[in-house]
Chain A
Amino acid sequence: MQPQTIWQRMLSIDRRWLYAILFVNIVVFLLSPVRLRAPISPPVQKFYDEIESLRPGDLVMISSNWSASTLAENQPQLEAVLKHLMRKGVHFTFISIEAQSRDISLRLAKRLTEEAGYEYGKQWAHFGFVPNLIVAIKGMVNDLPATIKQDVTGTPIQQLPVTKGVKSLKDYKMVIDITPSGTVPIWISYSPKEVRILYCPTSVMAAEAYTYLDSGQVKGMITGAKGAQEYEQLLGITGLGAPFANAISFSHVLIIFFILLGNFALLMQRLHERREG
């Protein structure tokens, strides 16, 4: 058997080396103090402008459907959005489609609202989780108190000051869907047309939202941790988004470098083969 050329070895490099290099790259740039300023993309700017247009006391539904697996992308989004809502004095309620999402969003919201002096029941509430989002949205449009019945503390939602007098999802100004799964088309299809929809997907899922952004069915979007970094910049705060986006940014560079390297090796191998005849 002929010995492999260096180019052949590069082309068939053991993937474990690639993984090790990526791991080191992520750790270094996650911890590095270097912070690049992100350009504000149009969907993030629109998201920000939509929330800016809200008035104190307006009601927003946050659909938080992420769990630990996508924490790196969805937590910075939720934190930034909550900080903005609280800065504007906007009231909000949470809903989730599974138990783990409920627990995580509840814990996170409790911490952030305590920091901002927001009072549970008066300015925000958590409706817990619903097993079927379509049925829940349809129900909330017709009769919200009958569909949700009670919040996570077991209090009937008509007795909560924040949702007193709320009869339908139509009484909300906005729905913010923070999710790694394809729930946004469900919100678009079933929520009232006067309620604006904002979207916080993971980077993987963002590509499918551009059609809805283009048609105006989704008013704004924060894409993954990188979008959260842009949002933090708009708010003038330092959050989780910046270090995560930093690591993502340099990982992209690393991937591009290796793609170019692979292509260079391919080219050199072809030249080598041509020379060898």
Chain B
Amino acid sequence: MEAIIPHLIAQNIWQLPEANRTVYATLVVLGAFVLVLGLIPVLQALPPRGRRAIVVTVTFLAGLLFAAEFFLPVDWRAIFPKDDPTRNFLTPAIQPAQNVLQTIGALALGLGTYGLVRLHLRNVVQRRTQWGYSVVLLIAFLTMATFSIANTLAERQLLKLEGTPQRVLERGFTILFDYTLVQLDAAMFSLIAFYIFSAAYRAFRIRSIEASILMFTAMVVMIGVVPLGAYISYQLLGLPQGPAPEGAGLGTQILHSIDLPDIANWILFTLNAPAQRAIEFGVGIGGLAMAIRLWLSLERGVT
């Protein structure tokens, strides 16, 4: 026993051995297939209680991997001097687990895209209201997908094009990506500036003491953080810039700290940061409690 544990710790048990790696990988993939395909009829045959028991167990084991990896000590050199102090035996399993999650995400992307295309195809076939938009979406989708896939294949030398087809691909991709998608993205982001303007005009009204404080603070920060705040403070009002000299009187100290940039920074660091920290504590604890409920299958929401 004493010999096995250090061996397991020293060897990365989550990686396939170098020799005959392809054979092992094929076996693992086939094993996973058999397991998943075998599990479907078993799950369907089971009564709901039994099905739930399996789901609860799998959820618990999957969560346990991450929890155990975090809590298990990583430095065992006091007991096994040859141990690697940077990881415990579960640490190397985290990356494969993340890869599985990414693979599930990629499969879901296919599912989402299928749903989107199906919906718009139906819109067109059944001539639902505003089906023209669906036609635009389908054409845009097909064109972009074709050029993107072709471009990626060409980049990886899997598709060899020459002459006119190559020029069409390069030009087409530039038009679609650089001159269309990129510009549309930028346009959407810049819309936010206009929306901020209309939302601020509508929302910042002095209806209560709290609203007044909020409005006043927002105005001070907005002016204080831009060059105009400095211009007003130092050029127009003639306030002294920088920290007060040591041993200065109270009046000088006050004058050195009431310029708009200083007040804005004080609001950001002294009022904004602690408020945010408090909210983040609450959010973090809420997230942890939710994770515990999901892990132990105590949550009955969507699970």
- Of B110-118, B132-140, B265-273, the one contacting chain A is B265-273
Is A69 a contact partner of B186 (Cβ separation < 8 A)?
A: yes
Chain B nearest Cβ from A25, distance in angstroms: 10
Chain A nearest CB, measured from B231 CB (Å): 5
The chain B residue sitting closest to A203, CB to CB, is B225
Distance in Å from the Cβ of B255 to the closest Cβ of chain A? 16
Q: Does A97 contact B (CB under 8 A)?
A: no
Give Cα A79 to B51, complex, Å.
Answer: 57
Give chain A nearest CB distance to B100 CB in angstroms.
Answer: 12
Residues 254-291 of B at the A interface (beta carbon under 8 Å): 261, 265, 268-269, 272-273, 276-277, 280
Measured in the bound complex, the distance between the Cα atoms of B188 and A48 in whole Å is 32
- At the interface with chain B, which of A15-23, A52-60, A85-93? A15-23
Is B226's CB under 8 angstroms from A249's CB? yes
Across the two chains, which residue of chain B brings its CB closest to A141? B86
The interface residues of chain B lying within 8 Å CB-to-CB of A181 are none
Q: Judge if A226 is at the interface, Cβ distance under 8 Å.
A: yes
Contact yes or no, A208 B226, CB < 8 A: no
Q: Is B197's CB under 8 angstroms from A255's CB?
A: yes
Number of chain A interface residues as a range: 35 or more
B150 proximal to A (CB < 8 A): no
Among B2-10, B35-43, B215-223, the stretch in contact with A: B215-223
Q: Are A18 and B198 in contact (CB under 8 A)?
A: yes
Secondary structure type dominating chain A contacts: helix
B54 is an interface residue with CB less than 8 A from chain A: no
B260 to chain A, nearest CB (A): 9
Contact of A211 with B by CB under 8 A: yes
Determine whether the beta carbon of B227 is less than 8 Å from that of A249: yes
Interface residues of A in 128-147 (CB under 8 A from B): 131-132, 134-135, 138-139, 142
Cα separation A277 to B197 with both chains bound (whole Å):
33
The one of A23, A39, A213, A254 in contact with B227, judged by C-beta atoms closer than 8 angstroms, is A39
User: Which of B21-29, B158-166, B199-207 is found at the contact surface with chain A?
Assistant: B199-207
Residue of A nearest to B268 (CB): A210
Q: Once the chains are docked, how many angstroms separate the CA of A135 from the CA of B100?
A: 12
Instruction: Tell me whether B200 and A255 are in contact (CB under 8 A).
Output: yes
- Residues of chain B within 8 A (CB-CB) of A18 are 194, 197-198, 201
A37: nearest chain-B partner, CB-CB: B227
For the complex of A and B, the 3 pairs showing the least CB-CB separation, nearest first, are A36-B227, A68-B182, A69-B189
- A residues sitting closer than 8 Å to B (CB atoms) are 13, 15, 18-19, 22-23, 26, 36-39, 41-42, 67-72, 100, 131-132, 134-135, 138-139, 142, 204, 207-208, 210-211, 213-214, 223, 226, 229, 245-246, 248-256, 258-259, 262-263, 266-267
Sampled A-B contacts (16; CB under 8 Å):
A15-B198, A18-B194, A19-B197, A36-B231, A39-B241, A68-B186, A207-B268, A210-B269, A210-B276, A252-B228, A253-B228, A255-B197, A259-B204, A262-B201, A262-B205, A263-B204
Given A132-B102, A258-B197, 20 new contacts (CB under 8 A): A38-B226, A38-B230, A39-B230, A39-B234, A68-B183, A68-B186, A69-B185, A69-B189, A100-B182, A131-B102, A135-B99, A207-B272, A210-B276, A211-B276, A214-B269, A223-B225, A253-B223, A259-B200, A262-B201, A262-B204
